[in-house]
Amino acid sequence: MRKLFSFQGKKRQVRFLSPLEGAELALSALRLLCSPSEEERSDQSGTLPRRAQSIIDVEYRNPLDSTTLARRFNVSREHLSRTFRKETGMTLQSCLTKVRMRAAAELLKQTQLSIQEVAWQCGFKTYSVFYRSFFAYYHASPGAFRAEHPRSTSAR
């Protein structure tokens, strides 16, 4: 048998639990630990994936990953990834890559920034990762893409 300490006012009382009471206490504690949090319950309408998408759209230049986003929402990485994929049909990483690739394409079309500068402005840590991602997404190198899409005269 285990001892359960409870404090009432300033008196300390010790109560011995029967095996049945101990099991009930353990089960109720497990129910509390395993029940969805308030954030997870309110997420059922899909607000969590929409909020994550909004952050990706605004902060794609910054280092972002599922762990960082999950911490912001106070949910597990697995929960965020699962609900995001269920709602949007894509993973967080593929969504982030899509947003970054579209931004890179616009910068390549509209500016004279170097390709390395475009990579950095779109949140890529290294040129090689940017190049591989860009080629996989557009089936063209960043330089070839820029050559195929000349700047319009109205662009800066």
The pLDDT-based confidence of 20 (bands split at 50, 70, 90) is: confident
**Within this chain, do residues 29 and 67 fall inside the same structural domain, yes or no?**
no
Number of residues that this document lists for the chain: 156
Higher pLDDT, 17 or 7: 17
Residue 75 included in any domain? yes
Query: Cα angle vertex 82, ends 84, 26, to 5°?
Result: 135
Domain assignment of residue 56, yes or no: yes
Number of domains observed in the structure of the chain:
3
The verdict on 103 and 143 lying in the same domain is yes
Half-sphere exposure of 99 (CA within 13 A, CB side): 20
Domain co-membership, 16 together with 50: no
Question: For residue 24, what pLDDT is reported?
Answer: 73
Tell me: do 114 and 140 sit in the same domain. yes
State yes or no: pLDDT of 28 exceeds 90: no
Q: Which CATH number goes with the domain that contains 141?
A: 1.10.10.60
Q: What DSSP assignment string belongs to 66-97?
A: HHHHHHHHTS-HHHHHHHHHHHHSS-HHHHHH
Please indicate, yes or no, if residue 14 is contained in any of the structural domains.
yes
Confidence check: pLDDT of 115 > 60:
yes
Structural domain including 81 reads: 44-89
Domain annotation covers residue 154: no
Residue 156 domain flag: no
102 and 120 share one domain: yes
Find out whether 1 and 19 touch, Cβ atoms under 8 Å: yes
Least trusted range by pLDDT, from 48-57, 100-109, 147-156:
147-156
